[in-house]
Amino acid sequence: MRFPGRLVLLGHPVSHSLSPRMQNAALDSAGIALRYEALDVEPRLFDQTIERLRAENAAGNVTVPHKERMRVACDSLTPLAEHVGAVNTFFVDDEGRLVGDNTDVGGFAAAVTSTLGSAPVDCTVGVLGAGGAAAAVLAAVESWPGVVAHVYNRTPERASILCERFRSVARAVDDIGAIGGAQLVVNATSVGLHDEAMPIDLALLSPGSAVVDLVYRPGETAWVRAARSRGHRASDGLTMLVEQGALAFERWFGVPADRRAMWEAVRTV
């Protein structure tokens, strides 16, 4: 791939994102003279923004609500991005093609391993949401022996469509209680990003279950704090954020990302 001419995060909104702090710490550590910037791109401006970034030989990340739309905008996809159906990492290759990748899968797997102490085996994962983040969760579930997923979404049709793509491990459910009964419960929605809202009533969680919230906020999300206070193992989206960002950095530059520097950058907020 070409050396990037610009590094960006595409999303709407993006003012809350810690990605610029994290990626700029990695760039400084590697001695790379680029800056990573957040671009708030309204959906109506998405296509023209992509064309400008392509001309600038840009690379970067994509967050809500653009991950699935970015998949369509790319000229080619890695096999993992094709399978997940969402792009969170992109770059321009030597032929000038916009290439989409997905490092959310690796980021989520790292978050689960950190929370549980090891990768899951022979258990059920309850997934809240049916967008690009939930697809990355299901791609990770496919790699864990004996693990299946139950998926709940406010729009049942979306959950059914997503589970059809991962039908070997996933099943859509219309009762949120089925999610609470899982050994690992994952919030793959944006609930709790801007307020103290919780994606599922903690009273529905089984004793001993673990919680992974893909949302992150300063001081953790209310859901994670409350779950931990009730004795559940729980973590927010910071581990996933750092690991997916490190994997993206290594994709762009072909050198190891300084994960310690990246963690220090997000922990000082």
Buried b (16+ CB within 10 A) or exposed e, 249-265: bebbbeeebbbebbbeb
Quote the pLDDT of residue 268: 73
Residue 56 is part of which domain span?
6-101+240-267
Q: Is residue 85 predicted with pLDDT exceeding 80?
A: yes
Quote the pLDDT of residue 25: 98
Residue 230 and residue 245 share a domain: no
Q: Is residue 1 predicted with pLDDT exceeding 80?
A: no
- Is 1 inside any structural domain? no
Contact 262, 246 (CB under 8 A): yes
Please report, for the domain that includes residue 83, its CATH number: 3.40.50.10860
Q: Position 41: which residue type?
A: V
CA dihedral (250, 252, 255, 260) in degrees, to 10, reads -50
Q: Is residue 217 predicted with pLDDT exceeding 70?
A: yes
Query: Angle at Cα 234 formed by Cα 231 and Cα 239, nearest 5°?
Result: 160
pLDDT band with cut points at 50, 70 and 90 for residue 218: confident
Contact 215, 236 (CB under 8 A): yes
Quote the pLDDT of residue 269: 64
For residue 67, indicate whether it is catalytic. Answer: yes
Residue 191 and residue 158 share a domain: yes
Could you say which of 4, 25, 41, 67 is catalytic? 67
Residue 226 and residue 111 share a domain: yes
| 206 DSSP 8-state letter | P
Residue 202 and residue 169 share a domain: yes
Residue 132 and residue 206 share a domain: yes
Say if pTM beats, i.e. exceeds, 0.85: yes
Q: Is residue 129 predicted with pLDDT exceeding 70?
A: yes
Residue 171 and residue 90 share a domain: no
Q: What is the mean pLDDT of residues 227-248?
A: 97
- Is 254 inside any structural domain? yes
Q: What is the mean pLDDT of residues 104-132?
A: 97
Residue 177 and residue 165 share a domain: yes
Q: What is the mean pLDDT of residues 211-227?
A: 95
pLDDT band with cut points at 50, 70 and 90 for residue 199: very high
Q: What is the mean pLDDT of the chain?
A: 96
Q: Is residue 182 predicted with pLDDT exceeding 90?
A: yes
DSSP state letters, 111-143: HHHHHHSS---S-EEEEE--SHHHHHHHHHHTT
Q: Give the Cα separation of 230 and 202 in Å (integer).
A: 9
How many structural domains are present in the chain? 2
Q: Is residue 170 predicted with pLDDT exceeding 80?
A: yes
pLDDT band with cut points at 50, 70 and 90 for residue 225: very high
- Is 52 inside any structural domain? yes
First to last CA, the chain: 33
Q: Is residue 191 predicted with pLDDT exceeding 70?
A: yes
Q: Is residue 198 predicted with pLDDT exceeding 80?
A: yes
State what percent of residues in the chain have pLDDT above 70. Answer: 100
| Cβ neighbours around 201 below 10 Å, total | 10
Residue 153 and residue 123 share a domain: yes
